[in-house]
A = this chain, B = another copy of it.
Amino acid sequence: MSTIQDVARQAAVSVSTVSNVLNGRTDRMRPETLLRVEAAIAELQFRPNSLARQLKTGQTPLLGLLVPSIANPMYGMIARAVETFAQEQYGYRVIVGNTYREKDKEAAFLEDLLAHGVRRVVVISSLADEHHLTQAVERGMVVVSFDRRATPGEASGIDHVTPDNFEAGRLATRHLIAYGHTRLAFATVAGLTVGRSDKIRGFLAAAAEAGLQQHARVLEGGPMNEYGDAAIGEVGRELAKSAAGDPHRPTGVVAVNDMMALGFMAGLREAGLRVPHDMSVVGMDGLFLAEIANPALTTLQLPVTEMARAMVERAMSRQSHLEPAAEEQVFPFTRLIERESVGPPPVSETKVPITR
């Protein structure tokens, strides 16, 4: 690979002149000089070494992206949008890391990014403890976190971009209640993340509104080791099989996300139960997969592209971690898409009287 020196020699100018054209300071030279330099660059197929430039400037056009698992279709969607936007709008490339929601892996990833000179990262984690994140902030990292609310009154220096999980849990549950369901369940996986807790709170709030708090249960499957993977679908499947055997089983279930819902429906089917005839299921995320499922899954649509854009913009806009206060940006789920997985509860079931 040719260097800036080679170009300078070839064009018979000094390296600083070449550097100037590289950095757009073309006004500092005679047009003919510029032409000579450009010709030399083309001829030598010269590409400035990003490493050397970074060492000097301290900035590298790389964005970190930490996800539980890139194999999870939801994170794949987000990753695609983040990468494309970062690249097209800012010329940044992205380094991804699967962390399986393990704190150590997250910390190690952040550590490596720092060593690589990466100063901006989008984190999808929502581990309750974000100490390792604030630590990265202190070391100069601009971090944007997905799927967890900012801790009120705490200036962590972290930007938060998150879905309105509480509202989502409430909306999905209300939808079931509107269809007449009185035995409700929320299907989730072991390990409480901030986002999951919020959804559960919303679920419980909607049940309480309808006087159904006695009949609202949280079903927790797992745990699993490769979180975020196909594993969550698998957990849903197992959960459904055990729920199906319960004579007092719920008639309407809200799944923590679409993959869980899809797995849950598969488990129900294996147990001989039909959706929505025997049980109704609503998901969250709005994956394309929900659309082609059988029955097609009723779900809440999350504005993935918009959120990805917001995360990248926040990560890029701040010149350093020292800048203005970090902010929280909450995105409502766009809407509830009614499809086939929700119907009235089976008539044979004993109805629970509604209190009010």
Contacts and interface: CB of A to CB of B under 8 A. Distances in A.
B80 A71 contact: yes
Contacts of A303: none
Contacts of A229: 80, 288
Contact of A97 (B83, B114, B234): B83
A52 B269 CA distance: 57
Nearest to A232: B288
A71 B60 contact: no
A72 interface: yes
A96 B94 contact: yes
B70 A70 contact: yes
Nearest to A267: B292
Contacts of A289: 230, 233, 262, 289
Nearest to A71: B80
Residue of A54, A81, A93, A266 with most chain B CB atoms under a 10 A cut-off: A93
Contacts of A84: 98
Given A50-B115, A51-B54, A263 B292 contact: yes
Q: Which 8 A-B pairs have the closest CB atoms?
A: A230-B288, A266-B292, A71-B80, A76-B76, A294-B294, A50-B115, A51-B117, A71-B76
Main secondary structure of the interface of A (DSSP, over half): helix
A9 to B, nearest CB: 20
Nearest to A275: B294
Interface in A179-219: none
A265 interface: yes
A49 B115 contact: yes
A292 B79 contact: no
User: How many chain copies does the complex carry?
Assistant: 2
A62 B233 contact: no
Interface in A129-183: 139-140
A139 to B, nearest CB: 7
B80 A48 contact: no
B288 A95 contact: no
A95 B98 contact: no
15 contacts: A49-B115, A51-B51, A62-B95, A71-B80, A71-B81, A93-B109, A93-B116, A94-B97, A230-B287, A233-B288, A233-B289, A234-B288, A262-B289, A265-B292, A293-B294
B73 A71 contact: yes
Given A234-B288, A237-B292, 4 more contacts: A51-B51, A87-B97, A265-B292, A269-B294
Contacts of A263: 292
B1 A140 contact: yes
Interface size class of A (residues with CB under 8 A): 35 or more
A108 B93 CA distance: 11
A233 B76 CA distance: 15
A111 interface: yes
Contact of A47 (B83, B111, B233): B111
B55 A117 contact: no
Interface in A225-245: 229-230, 233-234, 237
Contact of A1 (B96, B114, B287, B295): B114
Interface string A87-112: 10000011111100000000001011
Residue of A48, A62, A98, A292 with most chain B CB atoms under a 10 A cut-off: A292
A269 to B, nearest CB: 6
A50 B111 contact: no
Contacts of A291: 266
